[in-house]
Amino acid sequence: MTRTIVASATREVVIGFDQPFCVIGERINPTGRKKLAAEMIEGNFDTVIKDALEQVAAGATMLDVNAGVTAVNPNETEPPLLVQTLEIVQNLVDVPLSIDSSVTAAIEAALKVAKGRPLINSVTGEEEKLEAILPLCKKYDVPVVAISNDETGISMDPDVRFAVAKKIVERAADYGIKPHDIVVDPLVMPIGALGSAGLQVFALLRRLREELKVNTTCGLSNISFGLPHRHGINAGFIPMVIGAGMTSAIMNPCRPQEMEAVRAANVLNGTDQNCGTWIMTYRDYKSAEGGPAAVSPASAASAGRRGGRAARAGAAARME
């Protein structure tokens, strides 16, 4: 069984097919968030702190930490800023962290101060990346997200993306890194632009699980880019990728609809023992739509009808 172990100073989390889905909170990332970038440049971490606390309260399993505030001379400026951000977050919350940077020096600087066992985000199939990042994984004994693109870009052919993932796993093995320490991102295309994006990724996830036996992740909300009511598409996508074998995602845990989909899929995937998390979270739930309907005679009768079917099944099961 594939087990990717990540840890904070005191808390270990296992990413795996038999584990609850690992929600990697995406919010601590100034890319495209001008206000946050400006704050971080000024040394103001109020939003970072708020985002860290809110995401953990909302149910994030891990937090991604990115400090890529500028394209100007990031090799000099990003390492100290990433270290500062990471230290603030790891002193504040007790979840494992994902060190997210395209600057190798920033990743290494963060690895030096990170407590526990962080995840590196990320390596790709590009030679330069492989040679920069894989030695760090080995040296610090940490897992890494492997994005399935290379020098030629992102292939629209899922077989090519699978081949890139396979190459990364093989190259990692050359460094003595096991497949269970590679978390593959098969790359999710926007379904509004490519109607087969869903079917592609479901097929890829099954192959990655069965053939490479690796854990997987993705930037979840990419799937709904450009469509109205993106939360609805995201919330439908989550159970489908979990059903296909995805074991983590980089996403916004502060969205109730998406987190509800994660919790439901954990129940259905058999990784929420005795439905404990579901029952604890929703035992007093009053649905906006179902409020009045839930007590209407029609609804009560309908619940009874379902009960009848379920009771039949239950009775038959007890007979066996």
Query: Binding mask 40-79 vs a second copy (x if CB under 8 A, - otherwise)?
Result: ----------------------------------------
Q: Is 192 in the site for a second copy (CB under 8 A)?
A: yes
C-alpha 47/C-alpha 15 separation (Å) is 28
Helices (H), the chain: 34-41, 46-58, 74-92, 104-113, 127-140, 158-174, 197-207, 230-244, 256-268, 276-282, 290-293, 297-319
Interacting positions 202-231 with a second copy (CB under 8 A): 202, 219, 221-223, 225-229, 231
With respect to a second copy, which residue has the nearer C-beta, 27 or 129? 27
Q: Contact, 60 vs 28, CB < 8 A? A: no
| Nearest distance in Å: CB 255, a second copy | 7
| Nearest distance in Å: CB 19, a second copy | 14
Angle at 84 between CA 82 and CA 90, to 5 degrees: 95
- Give the interface segment with a second copy, choosing from 5-13, 86-94, 105-113, 185-193 (CB under 8 A): 185-193
Tokens describing residue 149: 């693109």
- Give the interface segment with a second copy, choosing from 111-119, 176-184, 188-196, 209-217 (CB under 8 A): 188-196
Query: Binding mask 237-266 vs a second copy (x if CB under 8 A, - otherwise)?
Result: xxxx-xxx-------x--xxx--xx-xxx-
Q: Is 232 in the site for a second copy (CB under 8 A)?
A: yes
Residue among 166, 154, 172, 161 at smallest CA distance from 204 = 161
Out of 10, 32, 42, 46, which residue is the one contacting a second copy (CB under 8 A)? 32
